[in-house]
Structure 1
Amino acid sequence: MNPLHSMNSIPVGQGAEISALSTNKVIRNTYMLLSATLLFAALTAMASMALKLPHPGIIVTLVGYFGLLFLTSKYRDSATGLGFVFALTGFMGYTLGPIVSHYLGLPNGGQTVAMAMGLTAAIFLGLSGYALTTRKNFSYMSGFLMVGMIVGIVASLGAVFFELPALSLAVSAIFVLLMSGMILYETSNIIHGGETNYIMATVGLFVTIFNLFTSLMQLLGFMNSDD
């Protein structure tokens, strides 16, 4: 029996059903792993806060992030990739701890952190739920999001090195919009088969949530300050 003939003779409806099952499996695995990594990052952030660890600095943060991201991508098709996912998200949780501690030490700091967490959850659940239920294809946003990310990263580095608070706030506002778009894009990418690896899908969504939370915290911290 010719295997090619066998493959070609699969009914169209059955092929679509297999594709849908595969996509649903990626979505299920992605959200299960995302939940686990968010919990792990929260635990490492709390440990970092309890131990009063200092922030590692922009250079160490970037080297650690991109190094672990590279290893995660390299081993994404193996069990080793899962280990690097938790190493990456745990490292990001560690860097988050000192940032949260800083805001908690400001006037209305507890309210600021709580509001940032609540808004982050609401935005993520709302936008990802919209993409999942409508199943709209947001792939057309890729070019805009890529350019926006490049501009945002360059501007954020400029704000750090030149100590420009106004620019930093503007970057945070831009990142809130960009991360909202990224949630729609990345969720749509999973639904429509653009991302079939649940490890990389998890990393993309985790980084989006992380950036959304920190950007909201900075904006709300400024608005809730007594200055």
Structure 2
Amino acid sequence: MHDHLTSSTAQSQALSAQAHKVLRNTYMLLGMTLAFSALAAFFSMATGLRLNIFVFFIGAYGLMFLTHKLADSPWGLLTTFGFTGFMGLSLGPILNAYLGAGMGHVVMSALGMTALVFFGLSAFALTTKKDFSFMGKFLMVGGLVLIAGVIANLLLGLQGLQLAISAGFVIFSSALILWQTSEIVHGGETNYIRATVTLFVSIYNLFLSLLSLLGLSND
């Protein structure tokens, strides 16, 4: 009985140490990729670079798939920066549009709210250590519904649908932050590259969605 308890304690401590390492590496890489993405966004804003919608979808999903495929090799780090840099480039025209319309305060508000939501949800998941693995199926279904909504609105261009999609992405991204952080804490995710990409996409979508909601309310 004593040996069994000792073994369980040792496994728990080992898991905690591994989770701590993955969490540390994830946040370190996430910070670097966010900075790199911001530089790419500034470059895009300064040069007036614009990405065709088809180029964006092919580039974004292609690089994300490639990064997940190479996540267990050193090449995964290179594709992670390639993916996050590409996503940063796509932000340039959007930010220029808001700034050109005199909505710099909207951009700053969306940025501040994004940081607040991310740090708040991350702190909640880390301090409570609650298991959010049950949200996996919900997130899969929710993601497919939102993608379908985005494609539909590209054809319809309805402001009401855009509002609903943006609100849906805020909820989805917030849930994804909780789920991914919980997966790291509980040992469900042991690859910091995959974890970084998931959190980066969550922050990216959260920022754009809040930007859209605030922009529509100020329009």
Pairwise TM-score range, normalised by the shorter structure:
over 0.9
- Are residue 89 (structure 1) and residue 67 (structure 2) matched? no
Task: Give me the TM-score of the superposition, normalised by structure 2.
Answer: 0.95
Contact 1:68 1:84 (8 Å CA) reproduced: yes
Shift in Å, 1:159: 0.8
Match of residue 34 from structure 2:
38
Q: Aligned equivalents of 1:38 and 1:157: distance in 2?
A: 27
Matched AA of 1:33: L
Q: Aligned equivalents of 1:33 and 1:209: distance in 2?
A: 14
Shift in Å, 1:69: 1.3
Q: Aligned equivalents of 2:161 and 2:131: distance in 1?
A: 33
Match of residue 24 from structure 1:
20
Match of residue 110 from structure 1:
104
SS in 1 for 2:164: helix
Aligned-residue sequence identity (percent) comes to 50
State which of 210, 214, 218 in structure 2 corresponds to 1:216. Answer: 210
Q: Which stretch shows the higher mean deviation, 110-119 or 174-183?
A: 174-183
Shift in Å, 1:162: 1.8
Shift in Å, 1:25: 0.1
Q: Aligned equivalents of 1:103 and 1:65: distance in 2?
A: 22
State which of 127, 135, 153 in structure 1 corresponds to 2:129. Answer: 135
Consecutive unaligned residues in structure 2, runs of 5 or more: none
C-alpha distance after superposition, 1:100-156 (max 9, x if no partner): 11111124x101000000000000000011001100001111122221111111011
Q: Aligned equivalents of 2:124 and 2:29: distance in 1?
A: 20
Q: Aligned equivalents of 1:100 and 1:170: distance in 2?
A: 21
Q: Aligned equivalents of 2:174 and 2:8: distance in 1?
A: 35
Q: Aligned equivalents of 1:142 and 1:13: distance in 2?
A: 28
Shift in Å, 1:89: 0.1
Match of residue 48 from structure 2:
52
Match of residue 5 from structure 1:
none
Shift in Å, 1:70: 1.8
Match of residue 13 from structure 1:
9
Flag as ranges the 4+ runs of structure 1 deviating above 3 A. none
- Are residue 164 (structure 1) and residue 166 (structure 2) matched? no
Matched AA of 2:76: G
For the pair shown, the structure with the greater C-alpha radius of gyration is: 1
RMSD, aligned CA: 1.5
C-alpha distance after superposition, 1:51-88 (max 9, x if no partner): 0112x132111110111112211211121110000000
- Are residue 74 (structure 1) and residue 69 (structure 2) matched? yes
Shift in Å, 1:191: 0.8
Contact 1:160 1:168 (8 Å CA) reproduced: no
Consecutive unaligned residues in structure 1, runs of 5 or more: 1-7
Q: Aligned equivalents of 1:57 and 1:131: distance in 2?
A: 38
Q: Which stretch shows the higher mean deviation, 166-175 or 202-211?
A: 166-175
State which of 185, 189, 194 in structure 1 corresponds to 2:188. Answer: 194
Shift in Å, 1:33: 0.2
Aligned residues: 216
